[in-house]
Structure 1
Amino acid sequence: MNNKNTRRGFLKSASVLTGGLVIGFHSINKAIAAEIVNPSAISHEFNSFLSIAPNGKITIYSPNPEIGQGIKTAFPVIVAEELDVDFKTVEVEQANFSDKYQRQLTGGSGAIRHSWDRLRTAGATARELLKEAAANKWGVAAYTLKTENGFVISEYGKRASYGELVEDAAKLSPPKDVKLRDAKDYKLIGKWHAGVDNANLLVGKRLFGIDLKKEGMVNAQIQRPTAFGMKLKSFDATEALKMPGIIDVVSFDNNVAIVGKSTWEIMQARKKVNIVYEKDGDLESSDDHNRIFKTQLDNPNSGEEMRKDGDPVAAFAAADKVIEKEYQCPFLSHSPMEPMNFYANVKADGTVELAGPTQTPGRAVGSISKLLDIPQDKISLELTKMGGGFGRRLDDGYAVEAAQLSSIIKMPVKVTWTKEDDITGGYYRPAVRYRFKAAIKDGKITAFALKGVGMNAGNCTRQDNFPAGAIDNLLIESVNYKSPITTGPWRAPITNFLAYAEQSFIDEVAHTMGKDPVTLRLELLEKVMKNPVGKITYEPERFKATIEMAVEKSQWGKKKGVSQGFSVYFSHNSYVAQVAEMTKVKGKPSLTKVYAVTDCGIVINQSGARNQIYGAIIDGIGHAMYGKLSFTKGEPDQKNYDTYRLIRMNEIPEVEAHFVDNGIAPTGLGEPALPPTGGAISNAIAAATGKRLYSQPFNEADQEVESYM
């Protein structure tokens, strides 16, 4: 082996058994090294980002789970850019789970940011190895050669395809360092690319976990306790076991699993299982949560101090005016389009075969290894495409229960959830309540305070985000209430509601001060640029540029007959400013358009990026306007889409998306466009009606607001 220290990742190239070139990464103590590996070890010990076969076939592997964020297209575009090939000729495969990949998960909008340099280096390394192989073959210097669409070309016009060169290239030591392309030379990055799975999806090819069928597989559904705070006491499956297609009914933990040949047969038998539950804790109702939140906010000793700048108490005492408002949101279900499902086969030989849609394959494998006391290297996990998730599939409980059930019934099984199971089964966006205060003295904001009460979430604030850094006296407090209702990350965790509350409050402060809301934000950012107070996590210059572009594109304040609402937020290392517009439709103010300007650095795929913006805004509108999950004695009041409201097709306004082109390395995009949406709509409603909204969903508020019909 030939190890050389470089600076980007653990890099390997190899001649595969059939001849060819393979490039990939593996971390060792955060150092980067290049290595030639034994071809016979590749299938067991090596995972590639790309492979080039002697017949010219190029395969790029996408390690991160595809949840609809377009990562399976974006990753290969980055590799293909540096490799210098026609993207349409590249075959893209979903890589299965392997601990050889770094950060093989989907969450936090961090996949592109984490892998940007590593993916480019993989493509560039392969390109330089191919050039060196051609140089050796032709007896020329490698620097005199260029590449174009899968060919190495000499200055005299001599050409060799990558396929002709891979066997020789694989025998070479990878370069210590490679030069990456300048943005001005990009041929693929920043262009429009159709999703690599689009054609297969169009014809209904089985890509999703819900489509999965394997030999000998049985199906199962699981009945869980009907209320949070209840546990299984007993069950009687006598009648269910008599029904067609039913194989077994078993219990584990607090669950009763019905196992059968088909989903329909299981659903019918499930109704015949007599299950008795008993109380195992508090049975909380939404009224209890409202009371608890208010009590915690009123208790001066309840909050944990997350940040304190200056002397907020003195500043509030000396203020000419103090503005104080509270904002509250309900629980939300993730409600992915594809029902929760997972396949597991715990085999007699001590190995485990898993398959399904998961955002965190490593977590699932680790939890199942611990539960079954089986080494992780004995567990394989096939990653399927996901029909949505929005954080729901960060949890590994649904994968663990499938493996646990397989170990009990000694059969390969796929567990599928119904939509009722999903909506009533927990892992919700938690309810939360925020109290904001601002002190005004001599026409300036002299103090700012936020206290939040969240559920099972630890810190329900973002103490270092704007307007932190712009105000001399600042106090941020958080209260964590532990509830038996299971909660977890929901798209843009915490900020999905915090941004609405904060941006609505800043608008109200601006109007109280007699200032344009955008002007106030820009003034605060100017102070951060000149004399920041304490720690900040954002770049005020990028913040400002995003706002100014949104003002320009929306013609802020210049349109007649249109009420506009502004909002801007920094999350997941990206900046998004939005302007929502309301006009009169049939005599009532209706949401008709949303402008969105995003600074996420370099845009990899224009098509995928815009779809992320559109989807996030539609998601943000729908949940701000309609989404609500409430509880009565631990039981969800809403159980399916007849009572749990989602946005409908005819309620979606026009969305116009723009991107700040600054050439900065790319950051997150799957989540950042959602947080500012609620604030933009709320502020537009206030502009149109003179009424401010302090709770979601907006359609329950006492005002005449309709979406576009």
Structure 2
Amino acid sequence: MAQSTSRRDFLKMAATAGGGLVLGFNWFSAKAEMPSVVSKTVLAAGKAEFNSFLTISSDNIITIFSPNPELGQNIKTSFPMVVAEELDADWKTVSVVQAALDTKKFQRQVTGGSGAVPHSWMILRKAGATARAMLVEAASKRWNVPLSECSASDGFVIHSTSGKKLNYGELAEEASKLAVPSDVKLKDRKDFKLIGKALRNVENKNIITGKPMFGLDFHREGMLLAMIQRPEGFGMKVKSVDAAAAKAMPGIIDVVTFKNKVAVVGKSTWQINKARKALKIEYEKEGNIESSADHDKIFAELLNSDKAQVRRMEGDVESAFKNAAKVIKSEYQCPFLPHNPMEPMNFFAHVREDGVELAGPTQTPDSARKGVARLLNISEDKVTVEITRLGGGFGRRLMTDYVLEAAELSSIIKAPVKVIWTREDDMAGGSYRPSVRYRFEAALDASGNMVGYKLRGAGINAGNPTRENNFPSGAVDHLLIDSIEHKSPITTAPWRAPITNFLGYAEQAFLDEVAEAAKNDPIEFRLGLLEKAKTSPAGAVRYDIDRMIGVIKLAAEKSGWGTKKDVSQGFSVYFSHASYVAQVADVLVKAGKPVIQKIYAAVDCGEVINLSGARQQVMGGIVDGLGHAMYGNLTFKNGVPDQNNYNKYRLIRMKEVPEVDVFFVNNGISPTGLGEPALPPTGGAVANAIFKASGKRLKNQPFILEEPYAKAKSV
């Protein structure tokens, strides 16, 4: 029995037990060594480096480097799978290592925009194929046989005539001395052995056993810790600081005020957090101080303003609406949302005279390096960035504010320091999904055809809150899409599937309204629009019509659309990050309340690399989209968020997650995005199903504040 159990030990025991009563059996060591993350990978002696992504040691250990930050999107497994596939390696001999930032060896070391695999697909394939060609050539030369008689398979080069074979480790040194071929032949996809299969995440064991690998685990000898008190509300600044009581508390080394922030530096997070509460800080107004009630008025003004920027216009919109047999008009609104990654913001920095060492969880390591170099007025080559695993990001770690804080504080206190945010810091001082309100209008002719379409997007720090070239653009002869923005002191940033995370729901819910007014089946209505875009497009069509039709028909087939009794079904389809996802939600009514029973997803993301990881990406996107559509809500009073921890901010619960079935289109095209495209259609499919079940249109998120949920006794 463990005498003392840390929170991480408890989580490990609970995960291993798999539920039920968790007794204090210490199946893992409760006393771990001080966690550390080595900055340089130590490889076996006699390694041969074939390219940036790959080394092979003489003892046949194949090390594949994964350059992009890993935040749960499975990139650390998928990237090496592509290399190993073309290398024709035995996966059991492959070791995967997170590469540090190196812009000379790697391109686009970024996790964001669902673009990592699409960008690197051919680069990774060529890296593996090049090494394979060199190994085969080395064997041919050693055996003094024609190159055509040698081939690679499962980590060996084989001579077809004699049956001789050598493993890659035996050939690595010789192969590394050969000239790198300028052109190599890639595998035919029918010969793939790894790509398209379901492989375990290479870090499963490390995650389950709690091996230090996240930013919060990072440690350097002599490192100090710090927490920073920021202004309590947006539009405020620090006026005065009395830190005497905090400085006198145990474990506190210093209290530093810089750039509208007060940093408490010490030896343990517990001591620092206690001392931070002892600070006496007076704030004063710096700019606008806004409340959620103000935003309601702002949206009303924006939607009626004559200053909107036209994003796309086709045909004669005014005449189409003037002569319409029927006009449908609706507004949809979404709130601000925090990113809420499980691991709060943190970063390590050591600013020395000869350079700067940075380490921690970042989606954009190169931007972090550039930002620190500018901040300290030094050259970028003096800044190194080590990438730890990210405990979630969802766009928050595209920002570098928390990295710059650590670097600036280290430069002030002349010591290595790790800055750690609390959950309250993360939610109250983060960058949020913008709040947006949309106004849609559709014009129908006497036959129920949509001949006119208008969309205005009004956003608070949202930039352009529309995607003017997405469906149904190109399918409507008379179309106007414009946008208008309000600048606010509330900071915003990309949030998983930026803009489309809400726009996808709003557009698809509105199209169902239009289909109902046209007395048409929702799926047939959309297919009719796509056929119109295909045969007589209205302006440029910037989405693949056939791919969209493909997922629509697949989702309808797999869900049994229109064939089920006592089940209300809702449909949605969306194109984002170059991928296409259609969803059908099944809803039952239990005790007078709609209950989401199942969601079907048809996905066209091109070549699926890791089937297991791909399914998890889609399912995770659906759960994320459903949870935030149903429950997520961040409001403000006088610039201060009303919700600053999970006791006030509602997340989806495990019992509320429906069954999810995922189906992939096997078209063999190069991979397109997958980390985000499954999220945007979810809210629309669910809202449309709830309408079928209850007769109530959900036009605002979160859904629990709307009928039929608002009057329910429990949600």
The alignment status of 1:495 with 2:500, answered yes or no, reads: yes
- SS of 1:88's partner is helix
Q: Does 1:581 align with 2:608?
A: no
Deviates more, 1:203-212 or 1:133-142: 133-142
Partner of 1:634: 639
1:199 alignment counterpart:
205
- State the shift of 1:144 in Å: 2.0
Which secondary structure state, in structure 1, belongs to the residue aligned with residue 255 of structure 2? strand
Give distance in 2, aligned partners of 1:568 and 1:602. 20
1:233-632 to 2 correspondences below 5 Å: 233-299=239-305, 301-347=306-352, 349-442=353-446, 443-632=448-637
Paired residue type of 1:366? K
Supply the distance in 2 between the matched residues of 1:702 and 1:657 (Cα, whole angstroms): 30
Answer with 579-588 or 545-554: which moved more. Answer: 579-588
Report the TM-score, using the length of structure 1 for normalisation: 0.93
The C-alpha deviation readout for 1:132-184, integer Å capped at 9, x for no partner, is 11111112221221111110001121101111111221121111211111111
> Any conservation in 2 of the 1:22–1:51 contact (CA below 8 Å)?
yes
The 5 A counterparts of 1:94-133 are 94-100=98-104, 101-133=106-138
| Partners of 1:653 and 1:708 within 8 A in 2 | no
Mapped pair 1:93 → 2:93 = no
Q: Any residues of structure 2 matched to 1:665-704 within 5 Å, and which?
A: 665-704=670-709
Encode CA deviations 1:80-116: one digit per residue, 9 max, x unaligned: 0000011122000000111121100100000000000
CA contact (8 A) 2:453 2:480 kept: yes
Separation of aligned partners in 1, 2:264 and 2:541: 52
Distance in 1 (alpha carbons) for counterparts of 2:67 and 2:506: 37
SS of equivalent to 1:102: coil
Correspondence for 1:228 among 225, 234, 245: 234
Deviation per CA, 1:330-388, whole angstroms, max 9, x where unpaired? Answer: 000000001110000101x3311110000000000000000001211111111000110
What secondary structure does 2:571 align onto? strand
How far is 1:650 from its partner? 1.2
- Say whether the 8 Å CA contact 2:696–2:707 is kept in structure 1: no
What is the distance in 1 between the residues matched to 2:661 and 2:591? Answer: 24
Q: CA contact under 8 A between 1:576 and 1:673: conserved in structure 2? A: yes
1:59 aligns with 2:86: no
The alpha-carbon deviation at position 655 of structure 1 amounts to 0.8
Q: Does residue 1:217 correspond to 2:244, yes or no?
A: no
**Alpha carbons 1:650, 1:708 under 8 Å: kept:** no
1:17 Cα offset (Å): 12
Q: Is the 8 A contact 1:51 1:60 kept in 2?
A: yes
2: CA distance, partners of 1:152 / 1:17: 21
Deviation at 1:708, TM superposition (A): 11
SS of the residue 1:564 aligns to: strand
The one-letter amino acid paired with 1:615 is G
CA distance in 2, matches of 1:257, 1:388: 25
Q: What secondary structure does 1:389 align onto?
A: coil
In structure 2, do the counterparts of structure 1 residues 362 and 707 end up closer, same or farther at CA, with 3 Å as the change threshold? farther
Give the 3-state SS of the residue equivalent to 1:629 in structure 2: coil
Amino acid at match of 2:580: Y
CA–CA separation in structure 2 for the residues paired with 1:483 and 1:588: 38
C-alpha distance after superposition, 1:415-465 (max 9, x if no partner): 110000001003100100000010001221101110001122321100000
Residues of 1 paired with 2:50 and 2:335: CA distance?
A: 48
Distance, in Å, in 2 between the alignment partners of 1:588 and 1:289 is 31
C-alpha contact (below 8 Å) 1:337/1:387 kept by paired residues: yes
Distance of 2:148 and 2:253 partners within structure 1: 68
Partner SS state of residue 282, structure 2:
strand
**Pairwise CA distance, 1:675:** 0.3
What is the CA distance between 1:304 and its match in structure 2?
0.2
Instruction: Report the secondary structure of 2:65's partner residue.
Output: strand
Alpha-carbon distance in 1 for matches of 2:153, 2:224: 51
Task: Tell me the residue number matched to 1:36.
Answer: none
Please report the TM-score for the alignment, with normalisation by the length of structure 2.
0.92
Give the conservation status (yes or no) of the 8 Å contact 2:593–2:708.
Answer: no
Structure 1 unaligned spans of 5+? 1-15, 25-47
The alignment of Structure 1 onto Structure 2 pairs a total of residues equal to 669
3-state SS in 1 of match to 2:471: coil
Cα offsets for 1:610-668 (capped at 9, x unmatched): 11111111100110000000111111111111111111111111111111111111111
